[in-house]
């Protein structure tokens, strides 16, 4: 028996799925709005019903996060995402303006290549399938290698529900033989209309260089500024709960507290009461060496882990009651690894006197690793809130809310999504929470509303003696010269 190279299997599977999705999408593009909505509702219900099982499966397969929290994310990515898009028209004329006589007609992009992360695998698959199919696209999911089984199970579950509700077979696909070569083949395949990439910086760069339209969303290094005007009890409760949620694998999770000096000591007491454990300098050094490699890359073995697990890896002792670990910092940049994005239960802590110097620290953190992503502010002083809103190079700013749940749209009125754009500042094409409107184009039909200028209707004239371009004689001479050159060659 001849062993077939895994890369070749992955490439062939990517090609086959892209073709299958294209063939099914050509049929699906002719579906009416009622058919589209019936299929999407069936998929959302099936995914919601399996939220607990798939959340547990994702946690067991990847080793990241908390099963109960993944269940909540799955419920959000199925039920809440569907409720946020179910009334959006995606078939035929979706907008019309009688005054301007302009009609907007929805037009699907074709087949979506959906790259998904290991940190939020099943919930991201649910989210991307729903918004893709609602926009009348086909989809091929390319999961992270460490989350293949849970992603395949999620996609297959939704695909079965879709076919039973009337969708063509082959519309929804998920690669099970994953390799870099296979994912590259998928992204560059001629039938892929758009790439929707959620994951690390390398993945996003690859998506943007594939020669296709791409929505790539990168890392967030989210600061949480706590002003002297804040409700400190609420801020402490939210910050600890948000950082501990699913062991901090959502990119909008707070990565550092920036505390206004007059309230810093009280805030410390309050977060400690919520389960934050402040580590000392020696413990912090051990944690630096555990969380990050010398080149600044995060150690994947530390992602989405409990404080106790991290402590055991680092050879330090922390209480069993600790929900998160907090480390005091005074620098931002490569010389301080813990000022980077930490997709685990470790939170930086900075202090400065006044919102202006606190603002500067927030800017440093954003520029170091979270350009364009998100920022959280806890304050009641509207002047300070507006100063932050106007000044920060981020496209989501949560006010008195949890970063984790607020920025994805669970506890705010932001569009529900697990794909959070970082805009031009962050190297992405959009700063939006990516949803169904990003996955279809608009054709515009416009009736004449004013007559053309009379000058446009009159024939033009060439000034006497003026010839534009070579004359017929010059063209004939050039042809004759070329023929002679060929004959004598």
Q: Give the count of alpha carbons within 13 A of 418, CB side only.
A: 33
With beta carbons less than 8 A apart as the criterion, state whether 80 and 410 touch: yes
With beta carbons less than 8 A apart as the criterion, state whether 198 and 418 touch: yes
Please tell me the distance from the alpha carbon of residue 33 to that of residue 166, in angstroms, as a whole number: 13
> How many residues belong to the chain?
489
Please tell me the distance from the alpha carbon of residue 117 to that of residue 297, in angstroms, as a whole number: 16
- Strands laid side by side in the 372-378 sheet: 276-278, 324-328, 346-352, 254-260, 222-226, 372-378, 394-399
* Cα separations in angstroms, 340 against 182, 272, 331, 364: 31, 22, 11, 11
Please tell me the distance from the alpha carbon of residue 414 to that of residue 84, in angstroms, as a whole number: 10
With beta carbons less than 8 A apart as the criterion, state whether 338 and 314 touch: no
Q: Which two tokens stand for residue 389?
A: 């809103």
* Cα separations in angstroms, 327 against 113, 223, 346, 353, 462: 39, 14, 7, 19, 77
Please tell me the distance from the alpha carbon of residue 75 to that of residue 127, in angstroms, as a whole number: 10
Residue 414 CB neighbours (<10 A): 19
Please tell me the distance from the alpha carbon of residue 126 to that of residue 84, in angstroms, as a whole number: 14
Query: What does the DSSP 8-state code read for residue 471?
Result: -
- Strands laid side by side in the 102-108 sheet: 93-97, 102-108, 440-446
Catalytic residue among 174, 251, 358, 362: 251
Helix or strand (DSSP H, E) at 361 = helix 355-369
151 catalytic? Reply is: no
| Closest to 307 in 3D by CA, of 299, 295, 297, 316 | 316
Q: Which two tokens stand for residue 39?
A: 């299929």
Q: What does 374-426 look like in DSSP terms, one character per residue?
A: EEEEE-S-HHHHHHHHHH-SEEEEEESS-HHHHHTTSSSSSPP-S-B--TGGG
Residue 455 CB neighbours (<10 A): 7
* Residue whose structure tokens are 């670990």: 325
Which residues are catalytically annotated?
251
């Amino acid at each position: 028996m001849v062993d077939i190279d895994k890369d070749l299997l992955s490439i062939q599977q990517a090609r086959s799925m892209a073709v299958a999705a294209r063939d099914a999408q050509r049929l699906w593009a002719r579906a009416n709005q009622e058919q589209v909505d019936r299929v999407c509702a069936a998929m959302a219900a099936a995914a919601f019903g399996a939220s607990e099982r798939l959340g547990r499966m994702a946690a067991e397969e990847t080793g990241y996060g908390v099963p109960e929290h993944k269940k909540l994310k799955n419920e959000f990515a199925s039920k809440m995402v569907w409720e946020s898009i179910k009334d959006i028209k995606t078939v035929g004329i979706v907008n019309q303006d009688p005054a301007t006589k302009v009609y907007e007609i929805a037009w699907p992009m074709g087949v979506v290549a959906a790259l998904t992360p290991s940190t939020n695998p099943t919930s991201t698959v649910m989210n991307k399938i729903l918004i893709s199919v609602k926009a009348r696209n086909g989809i091929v999911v390319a999961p992270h290698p460490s989350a293949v089984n849970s992603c395949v199970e999620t996609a297959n579950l939704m695909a079965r529900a879709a076919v039973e509700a009337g969708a063509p077979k082959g519309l929804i696909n998920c690669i099970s033989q994953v390799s870099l070569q296979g994912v590259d083949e998928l992204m560059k395949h001629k039938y892929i209309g758009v790439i929707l990439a959620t994951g690390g910086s390398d993945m996003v760069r690859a998506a943007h260089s594939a020669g296709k339209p791409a929505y790539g969303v990168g890392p967030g290094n989210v600061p949480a500024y706590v002003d002297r005007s804040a409700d400190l009890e609420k801020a402490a409760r939210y910050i600890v709960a948000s950082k501990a949620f699913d062991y901090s694998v959502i990119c909008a999770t707070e990565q550092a507290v920036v505390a206004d000096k007059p309230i810093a000591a009280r805030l410390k007491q309050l977060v400690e009461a919520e389960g934050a454990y402040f580590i000392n300098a020696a413990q912090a050094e051990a944690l630096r060496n555990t969380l990050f490699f010398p080149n600044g890359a995060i150690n994947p073995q530390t992602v989405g882990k409990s404080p106790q697990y991290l402590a055991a890896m680092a050879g330090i002792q922390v209480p069993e009651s600790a929900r998160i670990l907090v480390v005091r910092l005074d620098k931002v940049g490569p010389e301080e690894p813990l000022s980077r994005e930490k997709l685990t239960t470790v939170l930086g802590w900075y202090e400065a006197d006044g919102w202006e110097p606190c603002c500067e620290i927030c800017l440093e953190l954003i520029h170091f690793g979270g350009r364009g992503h998100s920022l959280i502010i806890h304050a009641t002083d509207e002047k300070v809130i507006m100063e932050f809103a106007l000044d920060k190079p981020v496209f989501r700013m949560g006010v008195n809310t949890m970063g984790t749940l607020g920025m994805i749209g669970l506890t705010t009125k932001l569009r529900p999504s697990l794909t959070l754009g970082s805009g031009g500042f962050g190297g992405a094409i959009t700063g939006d929470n990516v949803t169904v409107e990003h996955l279809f184009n608009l054709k515009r039909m416009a009736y004449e509303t004013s007559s053309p200028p009379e000058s446009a209707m009159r024939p033009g004239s060439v000034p006497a003696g003026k010839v534009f371009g070579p004359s017929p004689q010059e063209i004939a001479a050039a042809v004759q010269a070329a023929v002679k050159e060929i004959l004598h060659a």
